[in-house]
Amino acid sequence: MVRLFTIVAVLAVLSSGFCEEKIFMQRAGVAFSNREYRSMLTVTNGEQFGSWTWPEMCPDNFFAVGFSVRVESNQYGLDDTALNGIRLICAKDEDRSFLYTVESHTGYFGVWSQPQYCPSGVLTSFQLRVEPHQGLFGDDTTVNNIKFRCSSNPMLEAPGMDWGEYGHWSAECTNGGICGIESKMEEYQYALDDSTLNDVRFHCCAKSQQITTTPQSLECTHVRG
């Protein structure tokens, strides 16, 4: 009997591993860049260096539900760049078992943070922490951090750097959510001062209108034998 209970316990432990939900995450890149969007979310405190790069969009009916950031830590007297990139994580409805990522152009310094997700709902607005231009001989870090607000109301802040101040919140996506990203990036400056990410803007898409129908009741016919 003791042996039987031991076997059952071992099988229960093994089976729990098979029941864990698997998450598949795939880079979308520019594959869905022709997706239609309703508006663009911007802020006014982005910096001046670099150029706007290419947009990357979530697939149709997918919206950003989370994000991660690429951050270079304090270099203590060397060239600091702070926030180098933002990666959106896209899901369809509330199904988070299959995800796409979009990020536009990112800088080359730092490491990617662990993803952060809305408890429910989608990302709808953002706020940037930006250090202003430090002058001819200063060290420009420009974008240091970002906050997002979820449609379910929680606010998520990235693990970025602390230089500069947060500006005003962007407008908010209504009846939909953030579905794409486009970054303003200063290219690698070699031996000169690198600032990398200077600004970002997000695409806002509307949710598709789904037509719901009331199922008709079926009458059962009894056949007498």
pLDDT of 34: 96
pLDDT of 212: 44
pLDDT of 30: 96
CA atoms 84, 150, 43, 138: torsion sign? negative
Indicate the domain borders of the chain: 24-206
Residue 151: CB atoms within 10 A of its CB come to 21
Q: How far apart are CA 33 and CA 3, in angstroms?
A: 60
Which H or E run contains 182? strand 176-185
Residues facing residue 99 across a β-bridge: 25
Q: Residue for token digits 């003791």?
A: 2
Number of residues written out for the chain? 225
Residue 176: CB atoms within 10 A of its CB come to 18
CATH superfamily of 24-206: Vitelline membrane outer layer protein I (VOMI) (2.100.10.20)
Residue 138: CB atoms within 10 A of its CB come to 11
Residues in the chain with pLDDT < 70?
1-21, 209-225
Q: Is 146 exposed, middle or buried (0-12, 13-18, 19+ CB in 10 A)?
A: buried
Sequence-distant (≥ 6) Cβ neighbours of residue 5 within 8 angstroms? none
Residues facing residue 20 across a β-bridge: none
Q: How far apart are CA 154 and CA 207, in angstroms?
A: 20
Q: Are 65 and 91 in contact (CB under 8 A)?
A: yes
Q: Residue for token digits 């939900």?
A: 21
Q: Residues 150-166: pLDDT tens digits?
A: 999 999 999 999 999 99
What six digits make up the tokens of 6? 């031991």
pLDDT of 65: 98
Instruction: Give the pairing of strands 62-71 and 83-92.
Output: antiparallel
Torsion of CA 32, 36, 41, 47, to 10 degrees: 50
